[in-house]
Amino acid sequence: MRIVRFRAPGEPPRFGVVGAQGPTGVSELDQADLLDVLRGDHALTGRTIEAIDSETLELPPPFKLLAPLDAPETWAAGVTYERSRDARVDESRVEARDVYSLVYDADRPELFLKDAVARRTVGPGATIGVRSDAEWTVPEAELALVLGEGGELLGATIGNDVTARDVEGANPLYLPQAKLFAGACALGPAILVQPDWSDPFEIELLIIGADGGVVFEARTSTAKMRRSFDELVAWLVRDNPVPAGSVLLTGTGLVPPDDVALAPGQQVEIRIPAIGKLVNPVGAAADLLPGERSKTHVR
């Protein structure tokens, strides 16, 4: 079962289940609390909306598809795939390359806070950002876990952990600046409920240029992960009060080459067949800041 969140003009956000009335039918649910919905405590209201596409789940006007949740916290795991380890060793410009190899083989994983109260997170169709002080920003296509109390696995969605790789490569201590900026995370289009966690998830990444041509494409599988979902979650909640409804991005196995960088005008598509396809245009992070803050520059 796939759950989406959407809004109609003049109405608060609502949840819907995909497929109850056909492969593109989004049937509205009567429950407004996501955790209750994910635990199966809901009923249909009778309103059904036909999505325009069965993978992006884009809804026709006047309905707007939203990020499937506004997570109180979004965490991320790093160096969970061998490809990610190799890329981060190669990108590092300082004599700290061994830290990535060491964490890949260590018992303790790399975990960091990606966002809080969804301030830097966007949903399907919304713009992801590129830092103005970075030259090599890339998408990171990942499976994202939705957590309940104590780290209970409630569902899975698609995540894009947008990263300024040259910022992190200059010094590992710059990781927060490489990871946190306006539009640095995207989630959607749906939450897959009660997946079989023993089955791997196939992940596909596509970057489309401003001219419509393919800039980069690749695919991987969570079967290539160094660590299990349970292992990552257990470390995340160890002595750490992670609120229910939080998200854990599980790392990427898809890293574009050095000559591929995100730029305004491009589009990123991430597809996980069981969940759908997350599509986001690329823009300048500074343009995504609210109000007058977007006009402020550091001097």
- More confident site: 248 or 86: 248
Q: Are residues 23 and 168 in the same domain?
A: no
Listed residues 39, 66, 93: the one ending a domain: 66
134 in the same domain as 26: no
Residue type at 139?
Answer: P
Q: What is the pLDDT of residues 14-69, one digit of tens each?
A: 999 998 667 899 999 999 999 999 998 889 999 999 999 999 999 999 999 999 99
Chosen domain end from 17, 32, 66: 66
241 in the same domain as 275 = yes
Residue 150 sits in a domain whose CATH number is 3.90.850.10
Q: How many domains does the chain have?
A: 2
What pLDDT was estimated at residue 79? 86
Residues 55 and 121 in one domain: no
Same domain, 81 and 58: no
Whether residue 118 is found in the same domain as residue 243: yes
Residue 62's domain spans which residues?
2-66
Q: At 87, is the pLDDT very low, low, confident or very high (cuts 50, 70, 90)?
A: low
